[in-house]
Structure 1
Amino acid sequence: MATFKDLDEFFDDSLRLPVGGRTYVIPAPDAEVGLLCQRLMNAGIAAEAGEAVDGEELTKLAAVVLDDDQEQDLYKRILGPVYDELFTDGLTWPKIQHIGTTALIWVAAGTDAAVKFWSTSGEAPAPNRATRRAAAARSTRSRGSATGTTRTTASRSKAATKSPGTTS
């Protein structure tokens, strides 16, 4: 019978980011922060894709818009003890933001996405087709059609004027 090795023997749930000759080790956040990061990422992808959102989704998006204090608090929550180290070491705010955003992406979308962002000048890369499709699959679809098809205006007016019991 197969047995599982202890996860702690091979799984590293921290993020290591090199800055100025030093490597900062960011510990994995707790589940609450992890879920918040995923909500933020999903909201950003939906907004970038220009998706129409219903009232419930709009409320969720509004709840994750951050002012400056909330952004700083989010970085503290994501980076944990490393946040204070960055200030003690004299890093500039833009670098701290880049580190914090990289950690946010790592938590929400994984290491590969974080590596892509880390190597940019601070601009998030546009989501790829697979990411957009995954976000669309998570969004709420209207109840109009189970297949996702829509009627054109012409077909709607034809259907509305057709008499009962006739076929087209």
Structure 2
Amino acid sequence: MGFKDVQQYLAPHLELPLAGKTYLVPPPSKDDGLLLAAFIALGVNAQNGRKSTDEDLALIKKREGADLAEVAFTPAVYQQMVEDGVPGAHIDQAAIYAMYYWTMGEQSADYVFANLYTEAAEGTLPKGLRTLKTGRNTALANQTRTASTRGTASRREPQDRKRPSTKKAASRGDKH
């Protein structure tokens, strides 16, 4: 009996339109995927006042100084963006989207990205999130700046629950 073709179940390339060009971003390597997941976990833990696991911190420490965009896009795609003159802030923002895309799936990436940048534009970012000098909005602003990874594991589909934006919840008197 032969092996079953599982290609249809694997994560497709991310088609990322940016600055008038569509970049085809392959899924990250296993190590890069794990780093992306560790960064997500670090941010979630920091936002919720929890300590990150030793495993996540070790992954991040091992790759200290790695650029999130190079990890989320691959060095070749990142370099092409730079050569094409894509503004650094746009690369950084797209890298955050790609990090969530590879670790949590497209719907989660869309949700996080839309809410993060909508709330930033409205001035309603949750306490603890701030903008770094590079323009990145992150809960990791006071943490070591490195890349995050996961990516080669199967993507999880997000739950259908939607959290109201901070601004809307505050106007209704909801606590978050």
- State TM-score, norm by structure 1: 0.57
Identical-pair percentage: 23
State the shift of 1:99 in Å.
1.3
Distance 1:100 1:66 in 2: 20
1:64 aligns with 2:60: yes
- Contact 2:25–2:77 (CA under 8 A) maintained in structure 1: yes
State the shift of 1:8 in Å.
2.3
Residue among 94, 100, 108 paired with 2:103: 108
Describe the shift of the 1:117–1:124 C-alpha distance in structure 2 as closer, same or farther (beyond 3 A).
farther
- SS of 1:70's equivalent? coil
Output the amino acid matched with 1:42.
Answer: A
State the shift of 1:37 in Å.
0.9
Structure 2 partner of 1:86: 81
Structure 2 partner of 1:96: 91
Structure 1 partner of 2:155: none
Describe the shift of the 1:61–1:48 C-alpha distance in structure 2 as closer, same or farther (beyond 3 A).
farther
Distance 2:62 2:3 in 1: 41
Distance 1:30 1:63 in 2: 14
Structure 1 partner of 2:69: 75
State the shift of 1:9 in Å.
4.7
Structure 1 residues 21-59: Cα deviation after superposition (integer angstroms, max 9, x where no partner)? 3211110011111111111111111111112x3xx8368
Output the amino acid matched with 2:13.
Answer: S
Output the amino acid matched with 1:24.
Answer: Y
- State TM-score, norm by structure 2: 0.54
Describe the shift of the 1:5–1:58 C-alpha distance in structure 2 as closer, same or farther (beyond 3 A).
closer
1:26 aligns with 2:25: yes
Higher relative contact order (CA 8 A, sep 6+): 2
Aligned length: 121
Distance 2:10 2:33 in 1: 17
Structure (1 or 2) with the larger CA radius of gyration = 1
Structure 2 residue ranges without an equivalent (≥5): 118-135, 140-158, 162-176
Structure 1 partner of 2:142: none
Distance 1:101 1:114 in 2: 9
- SS of 2:24's equivalent? strand
| Aligned Cα root-mean-square deviation (Å) | 3.7
